[in-house]
């Protein structure tokens, strides 16, 4: 019998997730269906209840419901660590025994894209993470695990500190999650959060734009000397060149958009649901060719 999955958001018609999961399913010969569902802004929980009632096996969650999705799972053991840190979820698993598990695969997807598709080694690198919204927080724990040295920069330092305080308040990260990380014995280390004015004189090997500045065609106020030689500039946005991408290109940095992250986070979700890993490179190439 065909297993049913869906992505839920509002708006949702732009979503590439059905196309991506269909390609994964064909490749791995998994008998699944995957559709896009528009939930009313005040009807997310009712939509999830309906899907569970109708026997769906899981779903992806996108804007604006990721924070609401996080609150759905109890007890705590049913929430993954990246989801708990970000307080948001993009992947739900509806178990046979009717329990609900939640995950945030955005960060792992980002790391896989950076490592695998851009062949960028994170260990020991100076990383600047711009932003402290859901996407930035989702990336934070997986970045910590990668043994890079991370600074968070945000327009409002206050906002970022409130959100990253979660890390300090997170005494129960198991060693198994952070294995091989220099943070294993230092899991409560406070993340360094600064404002843009403090960036002068700093250089980074990787700068990740996890702000929503690209949506309004704005440029976060970075100094032009910010890129180290051979730096990678990664914008989580995809579909068009943002001012950050243009700025980075002008400074000679290598530039990546968020399409690979989108596909890799979907592959993580597919793996959680189906236990098989699809070939993401083929799917990224197909999406780029069809753009």
Residue 148 touching ligand NDP (CB under 6 A): no
Tokens 């997310």 -> residue: 44
Q: Are 136 and 152 a contacting pair, CB within 8 Å?
A: yes
Which position among 245, 262, 269, 284 is part of the footprint of ligand NDP (CB under 6 A)?
262
* 98 conformational bin, left if phi > 0, alpha if psi -120 to 50, beta if neither: left
Tokens 């960028």 -> residue: 120
Total site size for ligand NDP, rule CB under 6 A: 26
The Cβ of residue 219 has, within 10 Å, a number of other Cβ atoms equal to: 13
Tell me the sheet residues that pair with 152.
Answer: 129, 193
Residues belonging to the active site: 66
Which position among 236, 245, 253, 284 is part of the footprint of ligand NDP (CB under 6 A)?
236
User: d(Cα 288, Cα 117) in Å, to the nearest integer?
Assistant: 14
Tokens 């403090």 -> residue: 198
Min separation Cβ 133 and ligand NDP, Å: 2
The site string for ligand NDP over 149-168 (x = CB under 6 A, - otherwise) reads -----xxx--x---------
Residue at shortest CB range from ligand NDP: 133
User: d(Cα 227, Cα 71) in Å, to the nearest integer?
Assistant: 38
Binding residues among 89-108 for ligand NDP as defined by CB under 6 A: 106
The site string for ligand NDP over 195-224 (x = CB under 6 A, - otherwise) reads ---------------xxxxxx--x-x----
Residue 5 touching ligand NDP (CB under 6 A): no
Under DSSP, the state recorded for 55 is: T
Min separation Cβ 268 and ligand NDP, Å: 11
User: d(Cα 79, Cα 88) in Å, to the nearest integer?
Assistant: 10
For ligand NDP, which is the closer residue by CB, 205 or 257? 257
Interface with ligand NDP (CB under 6 A): 106, 131-136, 154-156, 159, 210-215, 218, 220, 236-238, 258, 261-262, 265
């Amino acid at each position: 019998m065909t297993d049913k999955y869906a992505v839920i958001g509002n708006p949702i018609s732009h979503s590439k997730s059905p196309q991506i999961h269909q390609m994964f399913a064909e490749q791995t010969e998994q008998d699944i269906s995957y559709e896009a569902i528009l939930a009313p802004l005040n009807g997310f929980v009712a939509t999830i209840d309906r899907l569970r009632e109708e026997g769906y096996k899981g779903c992806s969650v996108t804007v604006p419901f990721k924070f609401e999705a996080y609150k759905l799972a109890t007890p705590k053991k049913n929430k993954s660590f990246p989801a708990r840190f970000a307080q948001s979820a993009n992947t739900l698993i509806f178990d046979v025994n009717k329990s609900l598990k939640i995950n945030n695969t955005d960060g792992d997807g980002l790391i896989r894209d950076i490592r695998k598709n851009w062949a960028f080694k994170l260990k020991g690198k100076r990383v600047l993470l711009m932003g402290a919204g859901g996407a930035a927080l989702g990336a934070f724990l997986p970045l910590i695990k990668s043994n890079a040295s991370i600074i968070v920069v945000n327009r409002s330092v206050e906002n970022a500190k409130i959100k990253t305080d979660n890390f300090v308040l997170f005494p129960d990260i198991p060693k198994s999650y952070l294995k091989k990380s220099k943070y294993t014995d230092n899991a409560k280390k406070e993340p360094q959060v600064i404002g843009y004015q403090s960036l002068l004189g700093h250089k980074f090997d990787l700068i990740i734009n996890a702000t929503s500045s690209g949506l309004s065609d704005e440029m976060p106020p970075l100094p032009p000397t910010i890129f180290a030689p051979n730096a990678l500039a990664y914008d989580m946005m995809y579909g068009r060149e943002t001012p950050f991408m243009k700025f980075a290109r002008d400074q000679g940095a290598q530039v990546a958009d968020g399409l690979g992250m989108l596909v890799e986070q979907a592959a993580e979700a597919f793996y959680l649901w189906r236990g098989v890993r699809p070939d993401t490179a083929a799917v990224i190439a197909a999406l780029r060719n069809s753009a």
